[in-house]
C-alpha cells in the first residue's frame, strides 16, 4: 500500500518543469534566472576569487571562469532542466543555450572540472580539455572543492584560508563505475589499465575513465599485457 502511495505521489508531482529565461552568470558554475538561483549540475568551477598558476605567473582563473560563463549565457534564453536542489537552496540543473549543453561547454573549455563526486557525465569533456591544455589545464591549480575545504571562519564572521596546499593538476581518483586508470608510459605514450591487469594496483592515475571508449577518445591506448 505504501509503495502504491509513493507511485501515486510521484505521478502527481512528476519531475520539476524546465526553467526558461535570460540568465545572469555568477561564478563559473552558477547563474540566476529571474529570482531563481541555479547551480550547474555535475561540474565544479574555481571560486570567484581563486587564482591559478600559468608559466610561473598567477592569474585570476575564478574571474575568468565567471566571464566565460557570462559569454555563453548573457542576453540569450537559457533552458535549465532541474535535477535536485543543493544545501543552499539553489536548483541543481543541466542548462543549455540553443541546444548547446552549457555545463559541458564549461568543462570542455577548461574553465570547470567534472564534479565526479556527483556525476561522471562530463569526465570525457574534462579529459579533452586536459589533453589540449585549455583553461585551468594550461598551468597548475587547486581543485575548487579543495579550495572551499580550506576556508576557515574566524570569530566575527570573517574568513581566511588554511595554509595553501600544493597546487597541482590533480590526478582524479577512481570512483564507483569509473575505475580505468590512465597514465604516461616511460616513453611519453598515454596508456590505460583495467582492474585485474598487471600493475593496476601500483598505478597512480593521471586520469580516470569510465569506459575504454572515453580513454581512447582522450588519446590513451590499452596497456599491453605480456
- Domain residue spans in the chain? 15-168, 171-226
pLDDT digits (tens, 9 = 90+) for 65-116: 999 999 999 989 999 999 999 888 999 999 999 999 999 999 999 999 999 9
* Distances, alpha carbon 140 to alpha carbons 51, 55, 59, 204, in Å: 10, 9, 11, 18
Q: What is the pTM of this model?
A: 0.65
* Cβ-contact 112, 104 below 8 angstroms: no
pLDDT digits (tens, 9 = 90+) for 165-194: 434 444 455 565 688 888 766 556 778 888
> Given this model, what pLDDT does residue 5 score?
42
Short-list 156, 173, 165, CA closest to 207: 173
Q: What DSSP state is assigned to residue 216?
A: H
Residue 162: helix, strand or coil by DSSP? Answer: coil
State whether CATH 2.40.50.90 applies to domain 15-168. yes
Amino acid at each position: 500500500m505504501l509503495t502504491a502511495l509513493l507511485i501515486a505521489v510521484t505521478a502527481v508531482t512528476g519531475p520539476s518543469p524546465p526553467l526558461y529565461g535570460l540568465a545572469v552568470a555568477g561564478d563559473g558554475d552558477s547563474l540566476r534566472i529571474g529570482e531563481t538561483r541555479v547551480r550547474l549540475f555535475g561540474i565544479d568551477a574555481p571560486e570567484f576569487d581563486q587564482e591559478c598558476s600559468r608559466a610561473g605567473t598567477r592569474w585570476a582563473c575564478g574571474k575568468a571562469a565567471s566571464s566565460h560563463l557570462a559569454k555563453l549565457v548573457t542576453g540569450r534564453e537559457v533552458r535549465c532542466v532541474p535535477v535536485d536542489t543543493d544545501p543552499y537552496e539553489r536548483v541543481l540543473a543541466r542548462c543549455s543555450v540553443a541546444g548547446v549543453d552549457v555545463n559541458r561547454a564549461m568543462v570542455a573549455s577548461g574553465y570547470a572540472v567534472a564534479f565526479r563526486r556527483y556525476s561522471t557525465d562530463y569526465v570525457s569533456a574534462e579529459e579533452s580539455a586536459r589533453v589540449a591544455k585549455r583553461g585551468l589545464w594550461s598551468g597548475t591549480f587547486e581543485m575548487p572543492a579543495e579550495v572551499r575545504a580550506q576556508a576557515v571562519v574566524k570569530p566575527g564572521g570573517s574568513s581566511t584560508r588554511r595554509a595553501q596546499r600544493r597546487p597541482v593538476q590533480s590526478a582524479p581518483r577512481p570512483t564507483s563505475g569509473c575505475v580505468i586508470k590512465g597514465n604516461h608510459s616511460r616513453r611519453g605514450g598515454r596508456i590505460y589499465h583495467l582492474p585485474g591487469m598487471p600493475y593496476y594496483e601500483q598505478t597512480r592515475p593521471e586520469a580516470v575513465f569510465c569506459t575504454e571508449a572515453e580513454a581512447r577518445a582522450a588519446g590513451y591506448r590499452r596497456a599491453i599485457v605480456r
